[in-house]
Structure 1
Amino acid sequence: FFVIFFDYMYIVLSFLFDPALTSEESVIKWYAFAGAVVFFLINLLRYSKAGTIYAGFLSIIVFWGISFYYNTAAVDVFSMSIALAIILFIGYSITTSNKLMMVEANTKKMMERYLPPQLIGELYKKNVSLEPGGKNQKVTILFSDIRSFTTISESMTAAEVVCFLNEYLSEMTDIIFTQQGTIDKFMGDAIMTIFGAPLQSNDDALRAVKTAILMNKALVGFNKKHTQLKKNIEIGIGIHTGEVIVGNIGSDKRLDYTVIGDNVNLSSRIEGLTLHYSCPILISEATFEELSKESIEDSFCLREVDNVIVKGKLNFVKIYEVMFFDTDGEKDIVLRKKEEFEKGLQLYRSLKFREAIKQFENLKNDKLSKLYIERCRNFIQNPPDEFWDGTYTMKTK
């Protein structure tokens, strides 16, 4: 619109102050000039590169055709043609530049919904574009969900639920962004986050685990602010690493930057296991293998939990619990719990169920150990067959 205003002001001032416009023929040439500009501008607003170039040439042809039709030398047609070409070029250049800035601004605004600011800056620095389509890429996926949120929300009004979720999701989003995670989507109280897309890094899995720990720690302060709730909220987090299809996926009217594939489904299933095993954070063996001993800091350790076949799968997945701590005293307690539990797990898999029970009973306040005690008692009553390999099959999601 700035270009249109500029061009019309030029034409109007020319009519008012150009002394050459004294004859009817001269005025007609200026009418032709103005008409050519109008024709060009109408096409310019369509933002079609090919159409605009075509309209520019056609505008000049129209101007010359009208001018030579009247066959007068009152006005220098050649000079006016050059002026017309310059105006058309300036209009095209400014509009094209504005269009690019608009596209970039809209793209940046779209990316800010699910990418941290520092990652957006890195994308522009490396000139990485998020075009429609997808590609195969290895990522780490984090699923989080508030446990029993439906029950918790029953005591709230609709407005209170929305306010509560907005506050919770905002706090969790800040944590995710500090670890440069990409928010795929919010699903009610659940959050799906990607690490490793659009930009990959060697510490994607580690940042996912750190995010899970920080999210759990943030709940302490969050629950203190919401004493009106009947009980403190707890979250379950499942993390898995694998190859997925990642990119802008959707229709020509709506696109979402997301990941799809079997590994996405498995990540969700692992999150669902956190309630069954009473573990706040569970990771798959694939994620475990990404966490090299050099990268694991003194803030958490990993204990093996089970070999489990999740619903909808044929092969088992080995899962681990992320056990975190803040002080050296807490670290000693956590490491002892890990060691004692894994001794019991080895006895359990060796079919030594009575010995395993005694070992698990050493961990009196460990809910996971209580789960295995129940399993051992069931196997004492109903021994597994000779082909049993210690794998547990989940019957529900």
Structure 2
Amino acid sequence: MTDSFLGKENEVLVESEKLLADSPELVTPETYAKLTADYARLLKNFSRIIRISDRNELRLQSVSDELEIEKKKLEGVAGQLAKYLPRQIYDSIFKGDQSIEIKTQRKLLTVFFSDIQGFTHISSVIQPEVLTHYMNAYFTEMSDIAAKHGGTIDKYIGDAMMVFFGDPESRGPQEDALACVRMAYEMQERLAELHIQWQREGLQHPFITRIGINTGYCNVGNFGSHSRMAYTILGGEVNLAARIEGKCEPGGVLISHETYAQVKDFVEVSERDLLELKGIALPVKTYAVVKVSDTNRSHTSDLRIDIKGLDKMIVKPGNLSMPDRLSLVARLRDMANTLEGIKPHD
């Protein structure tokens, strides 16, 4: 780089020395010699400076390459770390919005619990490798739905799943509660479809879940020690959500009165008898979700199918629970796909 960068200067120096040699009578030899000597010295010093700059540039490039490698390593580690943290918590930490200290605050949250009915028995009769495969598929499907609706996945506890709405991001108590109920309903819809798919694959023990939801004030933040902590929620309202889930019918969604008060304009429910729950001082009013909608109410009159080649079928929507209705919809959709020759999704 040095020679090419100073090419013109070198040419001037050569021409000047040639002029002095060929026509000494045009200039005083001593003066011209001193001038060319000074010029040569300056050119040499400048050339040395450029070589040092070239070496520094190479070093800087090397450092830049090393930094890029370390950056990619850091991004890889961060990407792996993201799988162990709720997405919202991960984002807030890396944006600097979340402090890494033992600190909590009290917030109005909507809390979701689910578990798989009879999981202890299921795990005892299915090979561990098969169980692991379907559990991972189950949690993947449910987690995708939770992320879609903006839920913060707190933890997986065996076959149970805990999600909350309202922190670190909140759309307001009503929207948080409604998003949670819609998430729960969509989870049961998806599971009704997966039951058919997994049964076709040979799974003899379907994953039928119970879901409980409650809305109330909870302590949320970092709990633990300075060496290890977890971002989670605590409080009586969390325990109540877990207790309600235990009383839910298999395949259903059971919500507390506090949650129902937030979402009553967008759901159809069936009021349940007051529940006496362990660890809860007063009886608890709950509602079984029948349908979730924006404006339209579900069809309640009888549905009749009377087609040549088919046994006559009458569906009474008013007599169907949410689990039964979702199962019927999923099976009718599967039958329609079979008639059309549409292969089921892998």
For residue 221 of structure 1, what is the aligned residue in structure 2? 193
Does the residue aligned with 1:244 lie in a helix, a strand or coil? strand
How far off its partner does 1:101 sit? 11
Give 5+ residue unaligned stretches, structure 1: 1-93, 336-362, 369-397
- Spell out the pairing of 1:167-186 with structure 2 (5 A cutoff): 167-186=137-156
- One of 259, 276, 295 as aligned partner of 1:309: 276
Q: 1:107 to 1:141 in 2, by over 3 A?
A: farther
Kept after mapping to 1: 8 A contact 2:117/2:207: yes
Task: Work out the number of aligned pairs and report it.
Answer: 239
How far off its partner does 1:274 sit? 0.6
Q: 1:172 to 1:364 in 2, by over 3 A?
A: closer
Kept after mapping to 1: 8 A contact 2:101/2:226: no
1:108 and 1:247 map into 2 onto residues whose CA distance is 22
Kept after mapping to 2: 8 A contact 1:269/1:310: yes
Does the residue aligned with 1:309 lie in a helix, a strand or coil? coil
Q: Which amino acid aligns with 2:298?
A: K
1:241 and 1:132 map into 2 onto residues whose CA distance is 26
Q: Does 1:132 pair with 2:101?
A: yes
Q: Deviations over 1:184-237 (max 9, x none)?
A: 110111100011111222211001001101110111222123222334321100
Q: Which amino acid aligns with 1:259?
A: I
Kept after mapping to 2: 8 A contact 1:132/1:247: no
CA RMSD, Structure 1 to Structure 2 (Å): 3.8
Q: 1:105 to 1:324 in 2, by over 3 A?
A: same
1:155 and 1:234 map into 2 onto residues whose CA distance is 16
Q: Does 1:289 pair with 2:256?
A: no
For residue 133 of structure 2, what is the aligned residue in structure 1? 163
How far off its partner does 1:306 sit? 2.1
1:230 and 1:177 map into 2 onto residues whose CA distance is 29
1:141 and 1:266 map into 2 onto residues whose CA distance is 9
Q: Which amino acid aligns with 2:131?
A: V
For residue 273 of structure 1, what is the aligned residue in structure 2? 247
1:247 and 1:104 map into 2 onto residues whose CA distance is 25
For residue 235 of structure 2, what is the aligned residue in structure 1? 261
1:279 and 1:159 map into 2 onto residues whose CA distance is 25
1:132 and 1:270 map into 2 onto residues whose CA distance is 32
Q: Deviations over 1:41-96 (max 9, x none)?
A: xxxxxxxxxxxxxxxxxxxxxxxxxxxxxxxxxxxxxxxxxxxxxxxxxxxxx9xx
Q: Which amino acid aligns with 1:267?
A: A
Q: Which amino acid aligns with 1:309?
A: E
Does the residue aligned with 2:121 lie in a helix, a strand or coil? helix
1:282 and 1:334 map into 2 onto residues whose CA distance is 25
Q: 1:257 to 1:111 in 2, by over 3 A?
A: farther
- One of 279, 282, 285 as aligned partner of 1:318: 285
Kept after mapping to 1: 8 A contact 2:291/2:322: no
2:131 and 2:120 map into 1 onto residues whose CA distance is 10
2:77 and 2:121 map into 1 onto residues whose CA distance is 39
1:319 and 1:279 map into 2 onto residues whose CA distance is 16
- One of 201, 206, 209 as aligned partner of 2:181: 209
Q: Which has the larger radius of gyration?
A: 2
How far off its partner does 1:289 sit? 1.4
How far off its partner does 1:107 sit? 7.0
Kept after mapping to 1: 8 A contact 2:117/2:208: yes
Kept after mapping to 2: 8 A contact 1:130/1:247: no
Kept after mapping to 2: 8 A contact 1:246/1:257: yes
1:128 and 1:198 map into 2 onto residues whose CA distance is 10
1:329 and 1:138 map into 2 onto residues whose CA distance is 29
- One of 196, 204, 215 as aligned partner of 1:230: 204
Q: Deviations over 1:333-383 (max 9, x none)?
A: 399xxxxxxxxxxxxxxxxxxxxxxxxxxx766699xxxxxxxxxxxxxxx
Kept after mapping to 2: 8 A contact 1:245/1:260: yes
Q: 1:177 to 1:186 in 2, by over 3 A?
A: same
1:365 and 1:213 map into 2 onto residues whose CA distance is 15
Kept after mapping to 1: 8 A contact 2:109/2:164: yes
For residue 166 of structure 2, what is the aligned residue in structure 1? 196
How far off its partner does 1:104 sit? 9.6
Give 5+ residue unaligned stretches, structure 2: 1-63, 65-69, 303-317, 324-346
* Overall identity of the aligned pairs, in %: 30
2:162 and 2:154 map into 1 onto residues whose CA distance is 5
- Spell out the pairing of 1:1-397 with structure 2 (5 A cutoff): 110-116=81-87, 128-133=97-102, 134-202=104-172, 203-227=175-199, 228-275=202-249, 280-291=252-263, 293=265, 296=266, 300-324=267-291, 331-333=298-300
Does the residue aligned with 2:298 lie in a helix, a strand or coil? helix
Q: Deviations over 1:249-301 (max 9, x none)?
A: 112332211101111111100000114xx6710000111112252xx2xxx41
Kept after mapping to 1: 8 A contact 2:114/2:210: yes
Q: Which has the higher contact order (CA 8 A, sep 6+)?
A: 2
Does the residue aligned with 2:288 lie in a helix, a strand or coil? strand
Q: TM-score, normalised by structure 1?
A: 0.52
The 10-residue stretch of structure 1 (238-247 or 101-110) with the greater mean CA deviation from structure 2: 101-110
